[in-house]
Structure 1
Amino acid sequence: MANGFGSLYVGSSGLRGAQNAINTTANNLANLNTVGYVREQVIFADETYNRIKDVTTRTNMQQNGLGVSIGDVVHIRDIFLDKAYRLEEGRSSFYNTSYEVVEQVEDFLQELNGMEFKESIQELWQSFQEYEKEPENSTNQNLVIEKTELFLTRCDSLYSDLISYQDNLNEQIKDSIDNINKLARDIYKLNSEIQKVESAKLETAMTVRDIRDAKIDELATYGKIRVEEDATGFAFITFENIELVGTDRAYEIELRKDDHTGFYTPYWKHLSDKRVGRYQDVFNLDAVISPEYDSDIGKVKALMLSRGSEYGTDEYLNGDDNDGTPYKELKKSSIMEVQSEISVLFRKIVLTVNNHFSPLKESNLDTITGTLDDGTTATFTYDNGTVTYNHIDKNGNEDIFVFKDEDAYLDRVDGKVGKTYRKANSILILDEENASYGIDNELPPRELFVRYGSDRYTKLTAADGKVYYVYNGERVDNPSTHYSLSRVEVNAEIRNKAGLMPCYTKNGAVNRDLSAQLAQAWEVKDMIIGPDDTIPCNISAFYDKIVGRTANRGSAYHSAGLTLERSAAALDKKRQEVIGVSSDEELTKMIKYQSAYNASSRFMSVISEMTELIVTQLR
């Protein structure tokens, strides 16, 4: 028994090592169903060795040791699987969030107000078909008014639902950013705690690491992250390529609120200067969404793209920019796209009806100057597609309005289908030759849909006594003068007295051509749903296209989300094979360590008996 009682040290170290291994295995079994728990494994190491004789040419080195020790208790993790899993989780979150938004929009279109909206379009068309039979019949006239009001109500309801959902997504973005900031702060604190525990290199902060890793997994669902851990156990994290958790702090993301919409835009507080209006946005929403560029990652980006930057209008869908910028912006947002498409459909119906009830024509004049009913003078000027209105009131105050360069309902195609849209080449005026009259036989004829902020015509009496009814276009500076959702109502005069609805010729005969053209105009296939649509359709089919395109977008998101979910699940399964606790494996280890403990115990008993025998015999 070299070194005296050295064998006792060997036996006791075996007992301690086996007992620690049993405790670790028991802890693994106790956390078998604990979410986020990473199994622990005991790493044994040799205890101190005593050298007896150095190596020579004739003998090997002789040494004896003091048994076994616990070298470390380690987390069993695979950093490459963690990285791959977090990436797939981020992508899955992006597409699943996008799909959830589209699914909700589909509900608005098909199951909630959507079906009612489609029915209101059909019923309005049917009312004009009845109106065509007897336009002078008050019952048919009132039916048109009733269905028109219903159509407006349901249009506004659908559009308002979409706006409310945008606001809901906006709040989700705010909540998500709050969670990201909280996760960053928590991870930073956990980093510091891990460093404190492990600084003496006596133990590993197992539980703290489990909590931190679970928070990093959660953070990965919000955006693109990269994690690097240094030798001290500190995890540095970048979020969307900018440092989020650094050496000395967790950096904060703040929100910039749009004055018009109230929409939030996340930006980096430490890289921005609010005093001069310079902001470093967190997300690059102009990037092409593609796995190739790692730009399809995270819930927050999906929420921001789906919400959009504005409320969608027909101007986005029919943007005149040569590079298609408005439409490109529109295509990023599933909600803005549907809002714009609904706005285009609404505007088409409104202008089709109004331009049949109160037709327009080109004056072939670039300037019309005349006197208003109050005796003041006004001038309309046409220049390169733009009309400007100039008026000086009795107090000498000058008003100058610029009207949008818009398509007018011009050019007769044939006697059956009325007119088509194109750009006007001069000032637009009432087409008195083809105008219809209400029961009062007065000009100008009343439009059915009126804008809140503008009359349809300005009456000007020229110096030669000729009267012009000049069309008041949609002003650039005043959205209330546009034929847009929530800015149009049924003409109060017609609503109060249906007989004022235009349906007679100047000589008092019923204008059946007007009602026939109006009913047939719904079948004209002159609508496309965007620059990428090559098949024109009529008013009824346009709504079906809206639903179909939304469904296609949702299907694409759903398919991508499912694929990425399966990929993330497969990676998580592999992760669990590494970090997860297997009851069978742990029970096998328990038996092994229990046997080792028993063996060490028997070894100690033998050494004790030998010692007792030697001491007794020496006596």
Structure 2
Amino acid sequence: MRSTFMGLETAKRALFTQQSALHTTGHNIANANTPGFTRQRVNFGTTTPFAPAAMNRPQIPGQMGTGVEANSIQRVRDSFLDIQYRQETNKLGFWDAKSSAISEMENIINEPTTNGLGAVMGEFWQSLQDLSVYPENDGARNVVLERGQSVVDTFHYLNDSLNQINDNIGNEISVSLDSVNSLLEQIASVNSQIGDVEPHGNIPNDLYDRRDNLVDELAGYIDIKVTTTKSEGDPADEAEGLYNISLVGGNGKEEILIAKDNYYQLGFSNGSGNLSTTTPDEVGQISIFSSAGKEIPSKKMDIANENGELLFSQGKLRGLIESYGYSYQDTNGDPQLKGTYPEMLDNLDRLAYTFSQTFNAVHEKGINLEGEKNIKFFGDLEDDYKDASKLISMGDISSKQIAASTTENANDEVNAGDGKNAVNLSNIQNWLMNGDEVKLEGFDGTVTFDPNDPGSDTDYSLIGNASMNSFYEGVIGKLGVQGLQANRLAGNSEILQQSVNEKRMSVSSVSLDEEMTNMIQFQHAYNAAARNITMVDEMLDKIINGMGLVGR
């Protein structure tokens, strides 16, 4: 037999359920401008009908509904769009880091302009051609010295500036590692809080939002894979569980960074097995450490393989490391250094070394106003070309000692009017350093410059089968292509990320128009439930107070 007060109970449930929906709507409206907030909804469900299937069920025509209840309050979110968004954020982090680093380099190199190294060297070559016309003119000779000093100063400026920016990138790697480790710790902490709530059947939607926002931020630094584990106890069906996060390497290898409320850290070994985020001079490995900062030897990750191909995870960290430079051992076991900035510095060193050593070799063959030979124009460099752009300097030479002449007369007096060696010196810019002998003009007999002279300590093959001009143009051309590619792909990644984010926002963000519509809907349902209670109350009043009065 059904209860006399069944109608009141049904209406009361409707009141409470619609009230929960109104509260949830108010929560959505209040957080309409909260970054990372996901709108929530109340999942309505019918209560158990009367009467239940049983042997002693009452003889009524059929089951009667008993009303509505709020089964759960759930976030409106599409996990597939989350995965897409993190993938695009990861790509954007990488290309943004690359684009920024190359842009800084382009600002320093400053080519093609009238202030770049190419223009300064062009002025130097021009001063030598002017000297060849007026070899006795002291003014022309001083111009050659000053413009030679300008070339030296420009090499120094480029070397110092590029090294300074590269040091800044190294500091940014350190800061990024600190950020990654902080995010890992925070995600593990939120995981722990979720693990305390879910076993009791509750759904911590706001904690889910906080965790997803942290994971989105982490995805910009490294490529991650997110899986879920069900909480212990008796979680609701809608509960999202605990996140497990793995670091995905460039070779597809995965390393666990978060397992429930346990987390690991990324950094460099300081030699004693403790965590350090200070970037070394050459990045060869990144290690995984426990939450206490102790290195786990089995989880060391090489940055690159023996061919120099990067193995580290995609993202901002990889873009910074690729710009800063990374070390690896080639197939012969020899250490190698690769990266955007190290390669540019190496090319400048090769150019500075080849330029100064070749110029000195030709200059030493000429004769100056004092009748001397074997005078160096630039200072001596080490046999190794490394740091040549930093160490290049002017020799201890005066204007009269510039060897612009090639011939002597019978009385061993210098033919000061001969400027043919100045022509030879100015032609150096177009010589191909391919090992072929170069005929020097103006000397009696055959005088050649042999880049492969076995008696020379200088390696003239550092710039390959190219002239100094074409080598530098090739370096600048490559930089321009790299910059264009980085800017284009950074722009494409940003557009794709924005597109995915707009789709995600269309699903998850709060629409005030929609919430107002829902509020009106729930309000009318609440009012109808209240009116239903009034109606049932009147019925019961009639039954209780109005029946049994006949005959009085």
TM bucket (normalised to shorter chain) is 0.7 to 0.9
Q: Is the 8 A contact 2:24 2:41 kept in 1?
A: yes
**Separation in 1 of the partners of 2:52 and 2:149?**
105
Q: Secondary structure at the match of 1:51?
A: coil
**Separation in 2 of the partners of 1:159 and 1:216?**
39
Post-superposition CA distance 1:577-615 (Å, at most 9, x none): 221122222222112111110110011001111111111
Corresponding position of 1:205: 204
Corresponding position of 1:266: 286
**Separation in 1 of the partners of 2:280 and 2:363?**
36
After superposition, the Cα gap between the structure-2 partners of 1:548 and 1:503, relative to the gap in structure 1 and judged at 3 Å, is: closer
Give, in angstroms, the shift of residue 441 of structure 1.
4.0
**Separation in 2 of the partners of 1:208 and 1:64?**
39
Corresponding position of 2:341: 335
Post-superposition CA distance 1:6-50 (Å, at most 9, x none): 221111110000000011112112212221001101011233444
Give, in angstroms, the shift of residue 526 of structure 1.
4.6
Corresponding position of 1:370: none
Q: Is the 8 A contact 1:88 1:564 kept in 2?
A: yes
Corresponding position of 1:305: 322
Give, in angstroms, the shift of residue 147 of structure 1.
1.0
Q: 1:436 aligns with which of 354, 366, 391?
A: 366
The answer for unaligned runs of 5 or more in structure 2 is: 232-240, 249-253, 272-277, 436-460
Give, in angstroms, the shift of residue 284 of structure 1.
3.6
Q: Is the 8 A contact 1:257 1:263 kept in 2?
A: no
Corresponding position of 1:346: 352
After superposition, the Cα gap between the structure-2 partners of 1:60 and 1:228, relative to the gap in structure 1 and judged at 3 Å, is: farther
Residue identity opposite 1:162 in structure 2: L
After superposition, the Cα gap between the structure-2 partners of 1:553 and 1:577, relative to the gap in structure 1 and judged at 3 Å, is: same
Corresponding position of 1:576: 505
Q: Is the 8 A contact 1:42 1:72 kept in 2?
A: yes
Q: Secondary structure at the match of 2:43?
A: strand
The answer for unaligned runs of 5 or more in structure 1 is: 311-315, 359-434, 454-473
Q: Is the 8 A contact 2:171 2:279 kept in 1?
A: no
Give, in angstroms, the shift of residue 185 of structure 1.
0.4
Q: Is the 8 A contact 1:343 1:484 kept in 2?
A: yes
Corresponding position of 1:2: 2
Q: Is the 8 A contact 1:54 1:62 kept in 2?
A: no
Residue identity opposite 1:268 in structure 2: I
After superposition, the Cα gap between the structure-2 partners of 1:338 and 1:76, relative to the gap in structure 1 and judged at 3 Å, is: same
Q: Is the 8 A contact 1:95 1:558 kept in 2?
A: yes
Q: Is the 8 A contact 1:287 1:295 kept in 2?
A: no
Corresponding position of 2:193: 193
Give, in angstroms, the shift of residue 51 of structure 1.
2.5
Corresponding position of 1:485: 389
Corresponding position of 2:456: none
Q: Size of the alignment, in residue pairs?
A: 493
Corresponding position of 1:522: 429
Q: 1:556 aligns with which of 481, 485, 498?
A: 485
Give, in angstroms, the shift of residue 270 of structure 1.
4.5
Q: Is the 8 A contact 2:176 2:317 kept in 1?
A: yes
After superposition, the Cα gap between the structure-2 partners of 1:498 and 1:167, relative to the gap in structure 1 and judged at 3 Å, is: same
Corresponding position of 1:220: 219
Post-superposition CA distance 1:89-126 (Å, at most 9, x none): 10122122211211221111227998342332111111
Residue identity opposite 2:430 in structure 1: E
**Root mean square deviation of aligned Cα:** 3.7
**Separation in 2 of the partners of 1:272 and 1:546?**
46
Q: How does 1:413-432 map to 2 (within 5 A)?
A: none
Q: Is the 8 A contact 1:109 1:115 kept in 2?
A: no
Q: Is the 8 A contact 2:132 2:404 kept in 1?
A: no
Post-superposition CA distance 1:267-322 (Å, at most 9, x none): 212499999x96844464349999xx997730000110011137xxxxx9xxxx99
**Separation in 2 of the partners of 1:74 and 1:273?**
37
Give, in angstroms, the shift of residue 251 of structure 1.
0.5
**Separation in 1 of the partners of 2:109 and 2:489?**
23
Q: 1:356 aligns with which of 362, 369, 374?
A: 362
**Separation in 1 of the partners of 2:322 and 2:27?**
45
**Separation in 2 of the partners of 1:153 and 1:22?**
72
**Separation in 2 of the partners of 1:64 and 1:169?**
71
Q: Is the 8 A contact 1:123 1:147 kept in 2?
A: yes
Q: 1:255 aligns with which of 259, 265, 268?
A: 268
Q: Does 1:239 align with 2:247?
A: yes
Q: Secondary structure at the match of 1:43?
A: strand
**Separation in 1 of the partners of 2:53 and 2:345?**
89
Q: Is the 8 A contact 1:451 1:483 kept in 2?
A: no
**Separation in 2 of the partners of 1:593 and 1:189?**
36
Q: Is the 8 A contact 1:41 1:76 kept in 2?
A: yes
**Separation in 2 of the partners of 1:260 and 1:72?**
49
Corresponding position of 2:77: 77
Q: Secondary structure at the match of 1:238?
A: strand
